[in-house]
């Protein structure tokens, strides 16, 4: 029976779901935000050099020539899959992943560890295209095969469990994801000990899961454990801890632990200064991030009084500019980045004169040759929003899970607003030009409130700030049809009274 036939009759291997729909057919989108998929580390990467794993019994017997050819074909297919996946060509990568499964089934059977690995790779691509339901089924199928072939504590389970948890989380089931991540952490401890570094990505996923469940304390505990693991492992080589500390600080900002974030960035600065000196270019990023932290207010329960103001961040921006300008190994790109950040800081403070001076300096820097014009176009020749909060995508009882399951009661709404950005980077002449359906008035108010609080880096022309009229903002949201009908009925009742 051909593999295409296998795809259409999934009962041949219980639990395996290999849908043929492409990303376009499923309406997949590219998510600009941070994605949990980045935390899914494929066993496939380890197989890139050695090829698909083989059972020990197979390794003991010299393969037939035809089998050698098929294994060479399988390795070529896998290499093709990996190139496509790494290049973001997910539709084609999904098709090749299915061919890898077909070849694996021919060589090793539908319930071999090779096939479990191939299913894991397919599920990774399906996760990337937001086909979370199919991804979950294939991760689960891979897990079931490994459990049957090995045991429930085998190390091979960690990768598909991590992928399954990520898919559950993005499907709107953080409760299931927490249990799955927890099981993966337990298996990691059994196989590698409680202090192994391989569990860090699992703990990061677990922290994100607790964050979405609203359990900030558990999320914080996970990050504290990550920090402790890094300290234990990199004791004596503090620079190795810096990447983990940067991720920790990003998480602290997301959760509102701004005082903790500042403490983390100051620790990063001390490590770099002690190791590389006080003028090292690696100081620029944490200095800019530390300065940005003063745009936010700490919302943690331990915060009783905030004595600092936005003005407290100026020293960090100015120091970043000085390092970028004075370090002989610096680049025009880094100098532009730091001076733009300082200009944005002054813009937030409504110190428009100083903001314009920095923006004009950057305009001149980026106008010196053609290689720099692209950055000038994206950073100064159009308005650039400097702040903004994510608006809710789902209204009332609608959920991401309903949409993924193609619930027929889930409908799409849209609000379109127009406005001007003045030469100081502020929004004016704001109005709603389209609201469909119009009954969701709260969503309209949220859009208006969000746009009114925005601050922009204004558009520049010949080094001078300009008014930019007729900007358009579109917000798409999802609602349940019955809730719209309830609002419509309420409106009719009010009219009758």
pLDDT at 13: 35
13 shares its domain with 160 = yes
122 and 22 inside one domain: yes
Asked whether residue 320 falls in the same domain as residue 398, the answer is no
Query: Are residues 19 and 161 both part of a single domain?
Result: yes
- The verdict on residue 466 lying in a domain is yes
Rg (CA), the chain: 27
| Distance (Å, whole) CA 347 – CA 422 | 13
Domain end (from 150, 171, 192) = 171
DSSP of 398-425: --HHHHHTT-TTEEEEEEEEEEEE-TTS
Same-domain status, 122 and 251: no
For residue 254, the model assigns a pLDDT of: 86
Cα gap 411→422, rounded to integer Å:
36
14 and 105 share one domain: yes
159 with 240, same domain: the answer is no
Give the three-class secondary structure for 484: helix
User: Looking at the domain assignment, is residue 210 inside a domain?
Assistant: no
CB under 8 Å, gap of 24 or more: what pairs does 480-483 form? 480/395, 480/396, 480/397, 480/398, 480/402, 480/409, 480/410, 480/411, 481/409, 481/410, 481/411, 482/409, 483/395, 483/396, 483/397, 483/398
**pLDDT per position as a tens digit, 239-270:** 999 998 999 999 898 888 899 999 999 999 99
In terms of residue numbers, what domain contains 411? 385-496
Point out which residues pair with 418 in neighbouring strands: 431, 472
Are residue 318 and residue 396 in the same domain, yes or no?
no
The pLDDT of residue 303 is 45
Are 284 and 320 within 8 A, CB to CB? Answer: yes
Instruction: Tell whether 68 and 167 lie within a shared domain.
Output: yes
Say what angle helices 43-50 and 65-86 make with each other, to 10 degrees: 130
Residues 205 and 224: their CA atoms lie apart, in Å, by 14
The pLDDT of residue 62 is 54
The answer on 111 and 1 residing in a single domain is yes
CATH number (domain holding residue 93): 1.25.40
pTM across the whole model: 0.71
Q: In this structure, what CATH number is given to the domain that contains residue 433? A: 3.30.2420.10
Q: Is 278 helix (H, G, I), strand (E, B) or coil?
A: coil
Domain membership flag for residue 380: no
Question: DSSP 3-state helix, strand, coil percentages of the chain (rounded to 5)?
Answer: 65, 10, 25
pLDDT of residue 401: 67
Answer whether residue 420 is part of any domain: yes
Euclidean distance between CA atoms 354 and 311, whole angstroms:
13
**Domain tally, the chain:** 3
| Domain boundary pick from 171, 196, 219 | 171
pLDDT digits (tens, 9 = 90+) for 383-417: 999 988 889 999 888 877 666 667 788 899 999 99
pLDDT at res. 236: 77
Question: pLDDT value at position 7?
Answer: 31
Q: What angle do CA 410, 414, 418 make, to 5 degrees?
A: 170
Is residue 376 in some structural domain? no
Task: Look at residue 490 in the predicted model and tell me its pLDDT.
Answer: 85
Give the bridge partners for 385, in sequence order.
456
Contact 211, 197 (CB under 8 A): no
Residue 408 lies in a domain: yes
The reported pLDDT for the residue numbered 402 is 66
pLDDT of residue 307: 47
Pull the structure tokens for residue 348. 């937030």
pLDDT in tens, the chain (497 residues): 333 223 322 323 333 444 333 333 333 333 332 333 333 334 344 433 333 333 333 334 455 657 678 888 888 999 999 999 999 999 999 999 999 999 999 999 999 999 999 999 999 999 999 999 999 999 999 999 999 999 999 999 999 999 999 999 998 889 999 999 999 999 999 999 999 989 999 999 999 999 889 888 898 899 889 989 988 888 778 899 999 899 999 989 888 889 999 999 999 999 999 999 999 999 999 999 999 998 877 666 544 444 455 568 899 999 999 999 999 999 999 999 999 999 999 999 999 999 999 999 999 999 999 999 999 999 999 999 998 888 999 988 887 766 666 778 889 999 999 999 999 999 999 999 999 999 999 999 999 999 999 999 999 999 999 999 999 999 999 999 999 988 888 877 777 66
Residue 86 lies in a domain: yes
- Both 63 and 148 in a single domain? yes
Decide: 138 and 122 in contact? Cβ < 8 Å. Answer: yes
Alpha carbons within 13 angstroms on the beta-carbon side of residue 457 total 28
pLDDT value for 64: 60
The pLDDT assigned to 311 comes to 66
- Could you count the other beta carbons within 10 Å of the beta carbon of residue 285? 18
From 139, 171, 203, the end of a domain falls on: 171
State the angle between helix axes of 332-348 and 314-326 in degrees (0 to 180), rounded to the nearest 10. Answer: 160
Same domain, residue pair 314 and 167 = no
In a domain, 89, yes or no: yes
């Amino acid at each position: 029976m051909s593999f295409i036939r296998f795809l259409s009759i999934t009962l041949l291997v219980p639990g395996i779901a290999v849908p043929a729909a492409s990303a376009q057919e499923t309406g997949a989108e590219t998510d600009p935000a941070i994605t949990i998929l980045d935390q899914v580390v494929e066993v496939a990467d380890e197989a890139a050099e050695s090829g698909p794993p083989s059972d020990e019994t197979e390794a003991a017997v010299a393969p037939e020539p035809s089998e050698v050819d098929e294994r060479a074909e399988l390795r070529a297919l896998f290499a093709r899959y990996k190139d496509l996946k790494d290049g973001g060509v997910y539709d084609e990568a999904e098709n090749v992943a299915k061919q890898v499964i077909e070849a694996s089934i021919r060589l090793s059977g539908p319930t071999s560890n090779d096939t479990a690995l191939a299913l894991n790779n397919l599920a990774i691509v399906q996760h990337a295209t937001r086909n979370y339901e199919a991804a979950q089924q294939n991760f689960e199928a891979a897990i079931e095969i490994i459990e049957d072939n090995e045991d429930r504590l085998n190390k091979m389970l960690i990768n598909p469990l991590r992928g399954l948890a990520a898919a559950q989380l993005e499907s709107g089931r953080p409760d299931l994801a927490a249990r799955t991540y927890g099981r993966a952490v337990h298996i990691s401890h059994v196989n590698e000990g409680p202090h192994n570094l391989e569990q860090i990505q699992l703990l990061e996923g677990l922290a994100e899961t607790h964050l979405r469940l609203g359990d900030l304390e558990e999320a914080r505990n996970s990050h504290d454990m990550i920090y402790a693991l890094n300290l234990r492992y990199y004791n004596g080589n503090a620079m190795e801890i810096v990447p983990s500390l940067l991720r920790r600080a990003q998480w602290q900002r997301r959760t509102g632990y701004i005082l903790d974030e500042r403490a983390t960035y100051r620790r990063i600065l001390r490590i770099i200064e002690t190791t590389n000196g006080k003028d090292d270019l690696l100081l620029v990023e944490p200095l800019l991030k530390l300065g940005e932290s003063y745009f936010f207010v700490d919302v943690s329960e331990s915060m009783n009084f905030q004595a600092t103001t936005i003005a407290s961040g100026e020293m960090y921006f100015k120091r970043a500019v000085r390092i970028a300008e004075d370090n002989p190994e610096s680049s025009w790109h880094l100098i532009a980045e730091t001076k733009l950040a300082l200009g944005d800081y002054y813009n937030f403070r409504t110190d428009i004169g100083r903001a314009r001076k920095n923006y004009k300096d950057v305009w001149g820097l980026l106008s010196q040759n053609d290689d720099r014009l692209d950055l000038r176009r994206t950073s100064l020749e159009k308005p650039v929003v400097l702040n903004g909060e994510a608006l809710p995508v789902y209204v009332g009882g609608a959920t991401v899970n309903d949409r993924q399951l193609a619930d027929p009661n889930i409908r799409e709404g849209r609000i379109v607003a127009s406005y001007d950005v003045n030469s100081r980077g502020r929004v004016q002449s704001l109005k709603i030009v389209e609201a469909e359906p119009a009954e969701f008035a709260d969503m309209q108010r949220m859009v208006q409130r969000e746009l009114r609080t925005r601050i922009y880096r204004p558009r520049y022309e010949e080094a001078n700030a300009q008014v930019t009229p007729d900007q358009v903002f579109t917000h798409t949201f999802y609602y349940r049809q019955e809730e719209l009908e309830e609002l419509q009925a309420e409106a009719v009742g009010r009219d009758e009274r």
